[in-house]
């Protein structure tokens, strides 16, 4: 379904990727091999960049739109409605099956099992018109794979042709190798955000180094590099890292940069957004 809220004024942040349906099971005991227990609570909610980053950026005051793909099931439809209610313009395209994850959570430990979203995403599902009104394109690096890599690289190429800056959330180090064909085809990136090990691994696959890197990892200092300059920003102690904290960091950082903030203030805004759950 196409949302009636898919039009945005100029200057928007566009987050591109997949809308994930998360089934979160809260456990009283650690999930270990051979164990059996009943979850004390169950929550079906959104996951991934399209959900966490877009909502965090909207809360931080940015004009935000999302594009990419989602399921056509009832859970996906509800999540899309919640995005629009949060002030996020919906430019997603239905593409079955939905991307789903089952998340087992105990304290600060979590196990994520993903399934669905295995069919090829035709680049025509994400047209260049998704960039209308956009000032910055943010890509979900986890979605640069055989399923959707062609579509996201095509969108990034269209953005570069329009002169739009492009940022990327780095995928896990063990996923970079399988994503390498699409990482190598990306236009030059304005910024890459992620954990230090993710950024280090990713950099070896890009055709050109990003202008800015922003390394964040729970309560360790955020380290921002732009050329030879380096900025360290302290982070308050974190007792339990909440689901999507890194994605929310990206939302706060991107929204603040769109408003013209410098890198130090953007890091502080990212930290505040990461702890907002």
- Tell me what pLDDT residue 2 has: 37
State residue 240 phi and psi, 5-degree precision.
Answer: -135, 120
Taking only the tens place, the pLDDT of each residue in 91-137 is: 999 988 878 888 888 877 778 887 766 678 999 999 999 999 999 99
Taking only the tens place, the pLDDT of each residue in 201-236 is: 999 999 999 999 999 998 899 999 999 999 999 998
Instruction: Give the predicted TM-score (pTM) of the model.
Output: 0.90
Cα–Cα dist 38/47, whole Å: 23
Task: Indicate left, alpha or beta for 221 from its phi (over 0: left) and psi (-120 to 50: alpha).
Answer: beta
> What residue spans define the domains of the chain?
12-274
Name the CATH superfamily housing domain 12-274.
Ribokinase (3.40.1190.20)
Q: Cβ(57)–Cβ(269) under 8 Å?
A: no
Is it the case that residue 84 has pLDDT exceeding 80? yes
């Amino acid at each position: 379904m196409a949302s009636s809220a898919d039009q945005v004024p100029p200057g928007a942040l566009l987050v591109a990727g997949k809308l994930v349906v998360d089934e979160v099971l809260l456990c009283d005991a650690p999930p270990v091999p051979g164990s059996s227990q009943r979850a004390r609570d169950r929550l079906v909610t959104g996951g991934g960049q399209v959900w966490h980053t877009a909502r965090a950026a909207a809360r931080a005051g940015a004009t935000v739109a999302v594009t990419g793909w989602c399921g056509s099931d009832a859970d996906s439809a509800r999540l899309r409605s919640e995005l629009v209610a949060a002030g996020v313009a919906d430019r997603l395209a239905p593409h079955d099956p939905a991307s789903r994850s089952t998340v087992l959570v105990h304290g600060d430990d979590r196990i994520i099992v993903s399934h669905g979203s295995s069919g090829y995403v035709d680049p025509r599902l994400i047209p260049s018109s998704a960039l209308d009104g956009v000032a910055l394109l943010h890509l979900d690096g986890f979605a640069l794979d055989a399923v959707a890599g062609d579509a996201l690289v095509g969108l990034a190429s269209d953005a570069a042709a329009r002169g739009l800056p492009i940022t990327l959330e780095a995928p896990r180090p063990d996923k970079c190798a399988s994503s390498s064909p699409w990482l190598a085809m990306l236009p030059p990136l304005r910024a890459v955000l992620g954990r230090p090990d993710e950024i280090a691994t990713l950099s070896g696959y890009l055709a050109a180094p990003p202008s800015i890197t922003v390394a964040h990892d729970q309560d360790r200092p955020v380290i921002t590099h732009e050329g030879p300059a380096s900025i360290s920003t302290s982070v308050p102690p974190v007792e339990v890292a909440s689901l999507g904290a890194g994605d929310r960091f990206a939302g706060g950082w991107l929204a603040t940069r769109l408003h013209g903030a410098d890198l130090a203030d953007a890091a502080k805004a990212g930290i505040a957004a990461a702890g907002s759950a």
